[in-house]
């Protein structure tokens, strides 16, 4: 297994470094510190736990709709030579600036916090459209699984773990390592500032060394031509049936992955898992995810990326099945289940994302259209971040209001809906493998 970047080319290393740069956003903003802190801000603003989950779910749904509607067009536009880096920069800067602006949020200003949260994710996800589309530019088809997996792997051990541990250390010191009163606001805001700075600084290797090798020649009206190319692609859907069937499968199973990433900490906190356990689990996931992401890449070289995707879907199906039981049992029994779930997430979170990206890159018929196809890929990925967070937020609230379950047990309904997403995704992935494009 490759544990260093010595065998990578300079463009490959620089491409991997952007995962190192932006993964801190996934840990601090998406998964751990912001969701926990937002719960405090929302409660200060008068919201209940189910209302907090509802509004956080709606915020995730809102930004996902915006990116999903833009992704295919932006990806197509980025296929013109010289456009990809030009489009990457404004989204990257939007994400960095709005992440830093979270330090301005007041103690009960939960609406302002959600607005900045949506904007920072528009920047994060928008930049990733052009980052993902650059994969065919920097490596060969035979190295895509390995390079993509190394991106996620080094993102976990570097971009996620190092600044995350620094943030937790600062938060712990300011709290006196006593979180009974929640997270200290100053420590949280320092973590937001560190996230923005880390993301900004470590992006420069990507900006300097990753060049757009594939693409089409510029035309006088690139925006108009991009819409024409998109329309032609839709008309040729049968010609690329394998690709589009995979995208539908991806839509469902990655919806489940995204939902667990974004909503798991809020869910665990809402059913009573303690702050120290949540933070320690976060560190453990980031450390374990590094070798497992690389392991997925190595095994894909032997068994194929598609086979490993089925392994990842199977693991996540088990995760949701276990998660459904957590709100229904006493905390003494729920805690071991939570730790088991966290371990399973660590084994497959990076692998399923990395191999989805590299497998899709491998079935694109023309590298000159990688931006266009990755635009569709990111559109499906962002539309896939709509259903799960909405269900996780809305179904528990509905079950509680209808008197079907108490406030804690109601969370099982939201987790159960995510189980179906993995099941449908797995079935469609099987179907996509039986298709032969003409």
Q: Give whichever of 88-92, 290-294, 327-331 has the largest mean pLDDT.
A: 88-92
**Which pLDDT score, from 0 to 100, does residue 66 have?**
87
Question: How does residue 233 score in pLDDT terms, banded at 50, 70 and 90?
Answer: low
Contacts of 108 (CB under 8 A, 6+ apart): 41, 44, 45, 46
pTM (predicted TM-score): 0.77
Using the predicted structure, report yes or no on whether residue 189 has a pLDDT greater than 90. Answer: yes
**Closest by alpha carbon to 414, among 436, 388, 433, 432?**
388
Least confident of 64-73, 89-98, 400-409: 400-409
- Is the pLDDT higher at 362 or at 102? 102
pLDDT of 123 > 90? The answer is: yes
In this model, does residue 437 exceed pLDDT 70? no
Confidence of residue 369 (pLDDT cuts 50, 70, 90): low
With a cut of 60, say whether residue 1 has pLDDT above it. no
129 or 219, higher pLDDT: 129
What sign does the dihedral 117-122-127-133 (CA atoms) show?
Answer: positive
Calculate mean pLDDT across residues 25-36.
Answer: 86
Delineate the domains of the chain, giving CATH numbers in brackets.
11-207+238-433 (1.20.1250.20)
**pLDDT band (50, 70, 90) for residue 424:** very high
Confidence of residue 408 (pLDDT cuts 50, 70, 90): low
């Amino acid at each position: 297994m490759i544990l260093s970047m010595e065998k990578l080319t300079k463009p490959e290393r620089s491409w991997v470094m952007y995962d190192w740069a932006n993964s801190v956003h996934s840990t601090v903003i998406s998964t751990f510190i912001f969701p926990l802190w937002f719960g405090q801000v929302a409660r200060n603003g008068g919201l209940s736990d189910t209302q907090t989950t509802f509004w956080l779910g709606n915020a995730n749904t809102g930004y996902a709709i915006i990116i999903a509607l833009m992704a295919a067009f932006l990806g197509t536009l980025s296929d013109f030579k010289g456009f990809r880096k030009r489009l990457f920069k404004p989204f990257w800067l939007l994400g960095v600036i709005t992440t830093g602006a979270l330090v301005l949020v007041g103690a009960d200003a939960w609406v302002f916090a959600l607005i900045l949260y949506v904007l920072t994710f528009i920047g994060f996800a928008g930049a990733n459209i052009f980052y993902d589309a650059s994969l065919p530019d920097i490596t060969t088809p035979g190295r895509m699984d390995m390079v993509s997996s190394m991106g996620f792997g080094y993102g976990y051990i570097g971009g996620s773990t190092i600044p995350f541990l620094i943030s937790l250390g600062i938060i712990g010191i300011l709290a006196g390592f006593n979180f009974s009163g929640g997270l200290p606001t100053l420590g949280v805001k320092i973590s937001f500032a560190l996230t923005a700075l880390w993301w900004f600084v470590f992006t420069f290797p990507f900006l300097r060394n990753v060049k757009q090798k594939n693409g089409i020649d510029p035309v006088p009206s690139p925006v108009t031509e991009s819409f024409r190319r998109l329309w032609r692609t839709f008309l040729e859907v049968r010609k690329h049936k394998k690709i589009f069937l995979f995208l539908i499968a991806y839509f469902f199973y990655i919806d489940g992955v995204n939902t667990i990433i974004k909503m798991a900490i809020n869910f665990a906190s809402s059913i009573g898992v303690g702050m120290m356990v949540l933070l320690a689990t976060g560190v453990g996931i980031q450390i374990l995810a590094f070798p497992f992401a690389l392991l997925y890449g190595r095994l894909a070289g032997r068994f194929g990326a598609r086979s490993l995707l089925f392994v990842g879907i199977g693991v996540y199906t088990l995760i949701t099945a276990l998660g459904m039981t957590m709100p229904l049992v006493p905390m003494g029994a729920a805690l071991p289940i939570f730790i088991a779930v966290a371990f399973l997430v660590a084994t497959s979170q990076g692998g399923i994302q990395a191999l989805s990206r590299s497998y899709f890159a491998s079935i694109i018929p023309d590298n000159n259209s990688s931006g266009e196809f990755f635009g569709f890929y990111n559109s499906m990925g962002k539309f896939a971040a709509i259903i799960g967070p909405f269900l996780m937020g809305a179904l528990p609230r509905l079950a509680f209001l209808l008197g079907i379950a108490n406030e804690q047990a109601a969370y099982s309904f939201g987790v159960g809906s995510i189980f179906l997403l993995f099941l449908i995704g797995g079935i469609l992935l099987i179907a996509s493998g039986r298709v032969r494009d003409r």
